[in-house]
Amino acid sequence: MVQNNFEDIERCDYIHARSEKVEELDQLMPDDEKLYNLAELFKMFGDSTRIRILFVLFESEMCVCNIAQLLGMTQSAISHQLRALKQSGLVKYRRDGKTVYYSLADSHVRTIINQGFEHVCE
């Protein structure tokens, strides 16, 4: 996917002057799969509906229906988003009769959102 044809550089030649820096960068850059997964993870936080859902789950587990009520959205919309969050490993669920309770999967979720929140609140 990522190609570094340093031989073909015609115009900007800054990189030639520091080719050791380039190799260093190439080594430090995580592989494509990890970068893709990282982007996919952050994509989950990049929607205000999903952010709202996660904020609700910060406080306690909650069923789909009540999350929908709290956010003023349809059950379907919430269920679809919970599915995405579940597939990304951000939330987990337990079933109790007809009801399915969702909760945060691990503490990273809190940490990441809080970091973002700090940044936004400046």
Partner DNA sequence: ATAACATATGTTCAATCATTCATATGTATG
Partner DNA sequence: CATACATATGAATGATTGAACATATGTTAT
Contact positions toward its own copies, by CB under 8 A? 1-6, 9, 11-12, 14-15, 21-22, 24-26, 28-30, 32, 34-48, 50-52, 55-56, 58-60, 63, 65-66, 69-72, 89, 99, 106, 108, 111-113, 115-121
Residue 39 structure tokens: 């982007």
The answer to whether 56 contacts DNA (rule: CB under 7 A) is no
Choose from DNA, its own copies, none: what does 61 bind? Cβ within 5-8 Å by kind: none
Instruction: Please give the torsion angle defined by the CA atoms of residues 94, 68, 79 and 52, in that order, rounded to the nearest 10 degrees.
Output: -90
Told to check if 49 binds DNA by CB under 7 A, we report yes
Question: Crossing angle of helices 75-87/64-71, nearest 10°?
Answer: 120
| Nearest distance from C-beta of residue 115 to its own copies, angstroms | 5
Choice from 5, 11, 20, 107 touching DNA (CB under 7 A): 11
Contacts for 75-84: CB closer than 8 Å, 24+ residues apart: 77/49, 78/49, 78/53, 81/47, 81/49, 81/50, 81/53, 82/53, 84/44, 84/50
Picked from DNA, its own copies, none, the partner binding residue 9 (CB below 5 to 8 A depending on kind) is its own copies
Alpha-helical (H) ranges within the chain are: 19-28, 32-45, 48-59, 64-71, 75-87, 107-120
Question: Interface with DNA by CB under 7 A: which residues?
Answer: 11-13, 43, 46-47, 49-50, 63-66, 73-77, 79-84, 93, 95, 97-101
